[in-house]
Structure 1
Amino acid sequence: MQKRIRRRYGAERRFRMFGFAAVVLSAAFLAFLLATMVTNGWRGFLRTDVALTIDFPAAKLPVTRAQLGTPGADLALSGAGLEDAVSNAAIAQFGPGGDALIADSGWLHVRNALKHDPALLERKVTLHVPASTALDQGLGGDGTREMAAAAERLKKAGAISTSFNTNFLTESDSTDPVAVGIWGALKGSLLTMAVTFLIAFPVGVLSAIYLEEYAPKNRWTDLIEVSINNLAAVPSIIFGLLGLAVFLGTWQIGGATIGPLLPRSAALVGGLTLALMIMPVIVIASRNAIKSVPPSIRDAALGIGSSPIQVVFHHVLPLAMPGILTGTIIGMARALGETAPLLLIGMRAFIVTPPDGFTDPATVLPVQIFLWSDEVSRGFIEKTSAAIIVLLVFLLAMNGLAIYLRNKFETRW
């Protein structure tokens, strides 16, 4: 007897030890992931600037102050040779090859400075323009020796500075890693998530209410329940194929070929596809939440004269709403991080302008990360990690909101 008791206690201690080790291992993997992302991506939120002196009167740009004050200033400056003027100023200040220290998009910042203050066109000024990726990496210690020496020389001369890169949060995609931003992809994600929520939430909740409260128990409802459970486990890329066939398929009507029903690479199509993907998850979570409401609540409501629909919407649904919202937010968090179904419906386009509506060309943050990770330029490595950090912050915020709603509205029976 004593030997059996000792074995049982020993098994319990081993089980607790294995459970604790599993928790520690999971926390270690999470800490490693976060540390890797922060280590690789924190420089993506910074921008290195070079103090560049430009003599605008000597450059003799074919543009006047009056033109800079008109809506056609961009057109006038685009054909004025401003890019060559910036390159020549860099060579004159830093010597041969000095233009390699300035980012390809540096002349755009000079153009914006001229538009903001047309008086600069008549004097010699010093402007802070973005440094090239090679110079920035040389400053960070992972570039070539030539660029590291150039960065050290500029640092001693006080001609180089580092600041928070606000453009990374306000700009869209670009071919220059110095000028890229996540706002276009982030706005596309917000629009896509809005469409997903507005379609999946009401349809999923109403389906769960019908199946749990009104549907008769027969072979058809059993088949529907099995189908919903199976759909929740279907790989996401299958839903991308479904969205491609249903929303972007070409139709034949009366012998004539009709084009896609909806615009390609739009937040509307992406939201519809993701809504199909997370709807089974919402139905299952909503059914479990409705089922967890005690039958005594229904009996009490019916006993005081409530109709069946009043019982559902006035008593059962409010009590089940915390569980429903938790399942919905978890499903939305899964949709926010999806890439495969959106690639199939064309949301991998090069988008330089943030979308203004649900039908405008758009991309989403996970797809933007995927596209940047495939770029050859080393400057995109930091931007990719920085975008992953932003995506993780959104996912953690959504999961934290789900936990908060669960703890705030949970009712103990």
Structure 2
Amino acid sequence: MAAVPSSASLPLGLTLQPDGVEWIQETYLDAFGAQLFATILLVLLVLLGATSASRVYDAIRSRYGPKLGEIVSILILGVVVAVVVYSFSAIWGVLFVLEFTLESATIDRWEAAQQIITLGIAITAYLAIRFVNRSIDTLAETSAVTKHQSEVAHHVADVTIIAAAATVILSLWGINLTNIFLGAGAITAIVALTARETLAAMLAGFVLLFSRPFHVGDWIEVNETGGIVTDVTIFTTKIQTFDDKHVLVPNDEVTSSQLTNYSRNNQLRVEVEVGIDYDADVRRAREIIVDAVEDCEIVKDSPNPQVITKAFGDSSILLECHVWIGNPTKRRTHDARTAVIESVADALDREGISIPYPHRVHSPRGEGFRVESAPREEAGISTTDD
């Protein structure tokens, strides 16, 4: 076997080639066949160790959860890799390569302290993110915040903690933050110019987060789009219309347009127009309509139904009936309108008050005119059937 170069001293007086390893190399690994056999045996041991590690991972995962199982598996993998590399180097007599690599990677105390502090800051940031996210989830379970607000709060908290940790780490390693901030400012300006609409929608998403003009499940109307809010993201508000269309409305359009929230007050006024004959008693008709709609189950007792005289129509006096419903939805609005119309029509019919339809009266000017019809024989029309 070729002579192994003498090992250089490592930090703390350690060496990768103690006397016991040299004795094994000289006694059992002095021939190529022995080295090849030891390599095959090492591969078999690695396969056996991988199978055992998999079983250990499954056992720990089933008992303590996947996170602890992943940590243990990573530690085992690291130990196995280190042992395999060392054993392979010892079998083939190249331990001096490892020693040279470790000597090249030797660091001083200040660099070691920087690395330890950096690792501590990273672990602290990770634990802080987990704590804040769990606190937000606990707050969301109490209905204090909506699902959209909790998601946005997660992202904001994570970015804030990571940015703070990165600033401290960069300062620790002596990196000038001024140039980084100047570069970030220039990049931000370029992005702001090229993605104005996207940034406007994102800022509008934060405005909706804090102003909370509506929640998921509310019935809203933005411009000419009306429906139920199904989700609110950073950039868009998702609305399901009543004809089952899913519409994505940019958040900047939501904040800059007129917004109507029909679910906000948990009640809604439904208006129904009724026309009565000019000969009818208007006051009596109003009382009849109020009594009729009060019997509708879907109509609320408070506020009380009201009937006002609206206008003189072409063929009737127009009355307008106002009723209120609770838990307003589009379906309940249609049901209330149907119930009111049917009840009013039946009540007015029982009282003999007619709901007239348009009439047209033709009157001539001056002397007028007369329409005469000529006999069928003079018009050339046969009076007998063929």
Q: Which has the larger radius of gyration?
A: 2
The one of the two structures with greater contact order (alpha-carbon pairs below 8 A, sep at least 6) is 1
Fold conserved (TM > 0.5)? no
- Considering fraction of residues, name the structure with more strand: 2
- Considering fraction of residues, name the structure with more helix: 1
Give the TM-score normalised by structure 1.
0.18
